[in-house]
């Protein structure tokens, strides 16, 4: 047998073979197709397991940011009230009560009054309207999930009515019906547990839109237009932050709407209460506009 055919052993272990010159030859070995497929499958499985966890972590961070913004907005309202005989900014839109009140809308005067106390060079309505630059809109006025929503650019200014913001402002409402167990705080001396701001979990069966800020599974918020009109839970609403007049912020989980036939004013959806979001002096039917806090 030639040297190339001789196997070299050491302590009964096969370590290689010799070529014609007596040198040890090393085998060159690459990945087979099967091995590559196995590796790809393992990587895919790891990604599939990690992505939901990453989405949940991101959503938890968004909820924390959202709660911090609501505390800032509440502090701004309190600062305004201290300088204005204890009254909170009005919940009216531009044009006064004749234009009706909607919790997702605020007037230019209310927007400017609140931005004044947010600091950091906050811009006024006039400054934004002159440039139409979204970078001049105060991001504190919208849940981070709504600000980056692909369904709608919220907040936005709609002349001459006012601002559509990324939260519900529940203060200063005189004509929104005080139904479904909520009463709009008008003064700083009102009940400290009165809800002042809340995340958007709003819908209109009449106009067929639904707004959801925080969805289960960590998905970002969305404004549902053509597919709207249904209850937020139908779009995987997880719940929302609610800010109270005393400055506290609480997360409330959403659930399916449970109507109480004995008392229609305490309908609940999980931990959240249902309420009307719109009203006007001559309104007789408010069923088309609902919200949760």
DSSP 8-class letter at 229: S
Give the chain's mean pLDDT.
82
Q: What is the DSSP string of 90-156?
A: P-PPTTGGGG-EETTEE-HHHHHHHHHTT-SSPPPHHHHHHHT-GGGS-GGGB-HHHHT-SS---SE
Flag whether pLDDT at 8 surpasses 50: no
What is the tens place of the pLDDT at every residue in 184-203?
Answer: 999 999 999 999 999 999 99
Domain-embedded: residue 42: no
Domain-embedded: residue 143: yes
Domain-embedded: residue 237: yes
Domain-embedded: residue 82: yes
* H helices present in 175-238, as ranges: none
Radius of gyration of the chain from Cα atoms? 30
User: Domains in the chain: how many in total?
Assistant: 1
Cis status, amide bond into 126, omega within 30 of 0: no
Range of the domain at 109: 68-292
Domain-embedded: residue 56: no
Domain-embedded: residue 109: yes
**pLDDT, average across residues 47-75:** 83
**pLDDT, average across residues 192-216:** 92
Domain-embedded: residue 8: no
Give the pLDDT of residue 150: 59
**pLDDT, average across residues 45-50:** 68
pLDDT band at 180 (very low <50, low <70, confident <90, very high): low
Domain-embedded: residue 19: no
Q: Tell whether pTM > 0.75.
A: yes
């Amino acid at each position: 047998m030639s040297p190339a055919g001789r196997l070299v052993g050491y302590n009964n272990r096969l370590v290689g073979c010799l070529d014609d010159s007596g040198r040890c030859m090393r085998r060159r070995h690459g990945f087979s197709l099967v091995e590559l497929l196995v590796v790809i499958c393992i990587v895919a499985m790891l990604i599939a397991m990690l992505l939901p966890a990453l989405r949940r972590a991101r959503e938890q961070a968004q909820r924390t940011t959202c709660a911090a913004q609501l505390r800032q907005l509440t502090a701004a309202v309190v600062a305004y009230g201290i300088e204005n005989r204890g009254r909170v900014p009005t919940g009216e839109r531009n044009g006064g009560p004749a234009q009706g009140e909607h919790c997702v809308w605020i007037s230019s005067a209310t927007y400017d009054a609140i931005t004044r106390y947010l600091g950091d060079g906050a811009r006024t309505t006039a400054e934004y309207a002159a440039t139409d630059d979204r970078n001049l809109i105060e991001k504190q006025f919208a849940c981070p999930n709504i600000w980056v929503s692909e369904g709608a650019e919220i907040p936005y200014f709609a002349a001459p009515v006012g601002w559509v913001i990324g939260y519900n402002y529940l203060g200063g409402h005189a004509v929104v019906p005080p139904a479904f167990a909520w009463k709009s705080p008008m003064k700083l001396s009102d009940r400290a547990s009165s809800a002042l701001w809340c995340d958007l979990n709003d819908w209109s069966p009449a106009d067929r839109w639904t707004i959801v800020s925080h969805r289960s599974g960590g998905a970002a918020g969305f404004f549902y237009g053509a597919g709207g009109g249904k209850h937020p839970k139908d779009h995987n609403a997880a719940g929302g932050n609610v800010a109270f007049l005393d400055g506290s912020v609480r997360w409330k989980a959403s659930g399916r709407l449970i109507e109480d036939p004995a008392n229609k004013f305490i309908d609940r959806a999980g931990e959240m209460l249902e309420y009307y979001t719109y009203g006007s002096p001559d309104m007789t039917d408010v069923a088309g506009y609902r919200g949760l806090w």
